[in-house]
C-alpha cells in the first residue's frame, strides 16, 4: 500500500468513527446541527472511497490510448468529491427544521472533541497532499477543514441554546447553525470544483520560486543562451514540460541533440515528477 492509500485509510477510519459518534449523540441529545455535522462527516466517508479508487487509477502506467498516463484521474476524482460536497450542502439546508429543544451540554463536549480530531486529520491530509503532490489528498483535507468550521458553528449554537431560557430568541440558534453549516459545505464544494476544473483545462504550474529554480538548472549548461518559453502542465502525480530554448546557430544538429538530451536528464534528476519533456531549439 502506497503513502497516499495509507493516508486515505486513516481518513476513512477517523471519519467513520466521528460520523457514528456525532449522529448518535445528535439524536440522543436533540441537536439537529450536530446531526447535520455528522452527515457532513458521512460525506467524508463516501469521498474517501472515491478518492481511494481514483488514487489507484491515477497511478496506472501510460498505455497506447493514454500516452501521458492516467494522472488526471486525480482531478476527475476531486471533481466528484466537489459535486458530492455541493449536493450535501444543499440537502442539509433543505432539511433544516425549527428544532426548539435545548441540547444537552454533552453536545458541547462532544463537539469540542470532534473539532480537535477533525482539525488534526485535515492538517495531516493537506500536509501529506502537498508533500506527495497529490490533489486527492488536498481536496479531502479541505473538505475535512470545512467539517472543522461547521463543528465550530455547532459548538457556538449549542452554547447559545443553553442561554435561550434567558434570551428567548436564541432558541432558533440550532436551526440557524444547521443552515450556516450547509452554506459552508457548499462553499467548500465550489472551491474544490473550481480548482480542479481549472487544472483539467490545462492550468500550468504557477509557483514562481519553483519555476525560477528549474530555469537555473537549465541555464547551467553554457550552450543554452536563454529560455524563450517554459510551460509545466500538471498530470496528477507527474508533470509535462514544454521547453523552448535558444542555442548558438554554429552548433551541428548532433551537437544540439546531445546538449538537449543532457539538459533533459538534468531536469528529470532535479524533479522526478517531470516525466515528459518536449524541447524546441531556436538558433541565436
Q: What is the pLDDT of residues 196-248, one digit of tens each?
A: 787 777 677 777 888 899 999 999 888 889 999 999 887 766 788 999 999 99
Q: What pLDDT does residue 243 have?
A: 93
Q: What pLDDT does residue 40 have?
A: 65
CATH class of 208-283: alpha beta
pLDDT at 34 over 80: no
Q: Decide which of 197 and 40 is more confident.
A: 197
Output the average pLDDT for the chain: 80
Q: How far apart are CA 238 and CA 67, in angstroms?
A: 13
Asked if residue 82 lies in contact with residue 137, where contact means CB atoms within 8 angstroms, the answer is no
In the chain, ranges of CATH 1.20.1510.10 domains:
3-200
Q: How far apart are CA 81 and CA 44, in angstroms?
A: 9
- Which cell goes with 57? 487509477
Q: What is the pLDDT of residues 259-272, one digit of tens each?
A: 999 999 999 988 88
CATH 1.20.1510.10 given to domain 3-200: yes
Q: How far apart are CA 44 and CA 141, in angstroms?
A: 10
pLDDT at 98 over 60: no
In the chain, ranges of CATH 3.30.70.1350 domains:
208-283
* Percent of the chain whose predicted confidence (pLDDT) is above 70: 88
Amino acid at each position: 500500500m502506497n503513502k497516499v492509500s495509507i493516508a486515505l485509510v486513516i481518513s476513512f477510519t477517523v471519519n467513520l468513527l466521528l460520523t457514528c459518534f456525532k449522529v448518535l449523540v445528535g439524536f440522543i441529545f436533540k441537536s439537529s446541527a450536530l446531526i447535520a455535522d455528522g452527515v457532513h462527516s458521512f460525506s467524508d466517508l463516501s469521498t474517501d472511497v472515491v478518492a481511494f479508487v481514483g488514487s489507484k487509477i491515477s497511478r496506472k502506467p501510460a498505455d497506447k490510448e493514454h500516452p501521458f498516463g492516467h494522472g488526471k484521474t486525480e482531478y476527475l476524482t476531486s471533481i466528484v468529491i466537489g459535486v458530492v460536497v455541493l449536493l450535501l450542502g444543499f440537502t442539509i439546508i433543505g432539511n433544516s427544521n425549527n428544532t426548539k429543544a435545548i441540547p444537552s451540554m454533552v453536545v458541547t463536549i462532544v463537539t469540542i472533541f470532534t473539532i480537535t480530531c477533525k482539525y488534526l486529520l485535515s492538517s495531516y491530509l493537506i500536509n501529506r497532499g502537498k508533500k506527495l503532490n497529490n490533489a486527492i489528498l488536498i481536496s479531502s483535507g479541505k473538505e475535512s477543514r470545512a467539517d472543522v468550521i461547521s463543528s465550530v458553528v455547532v459548538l457556538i449554537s449549542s452554547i447559545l441554546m443553553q442561554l435561550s431560557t434567558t434570551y428567548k430568541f436564541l432558541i432558533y440558534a440550532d436551526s440557524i447553525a444547521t443552515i450556516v453549516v450547509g452554506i459552508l459545505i457548499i462553499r467548500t464544494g465550489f472551491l474544490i470544483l473550481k480548482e480542479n476544473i481549472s487544472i483539467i483545462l490545462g492550468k500550468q504550474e504557477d509557483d514562481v520560486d519553483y519555476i525560477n529554480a528549474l530555469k537555473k538548472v537549465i541555464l547551467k549548461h553554457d550552450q543554452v543562451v536563454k529560455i524563450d518559453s517554459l510551460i509545466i502542465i500538471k498530470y496528477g502525480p507527474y508533470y509535462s514540460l514544454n521547453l523552448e530554448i535558444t542555442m548558438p546557430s554554429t552548433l551541428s544538429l548532433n551537437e544540439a541533440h546531445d546538449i538537449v538530451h543532457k539538459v533533459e536528464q538534468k531536469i528529470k534528476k532535479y524533479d522526478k515528477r517531470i516525466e515528459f519533456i518536449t524541447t524546441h531549439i531556436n538558433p541565436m
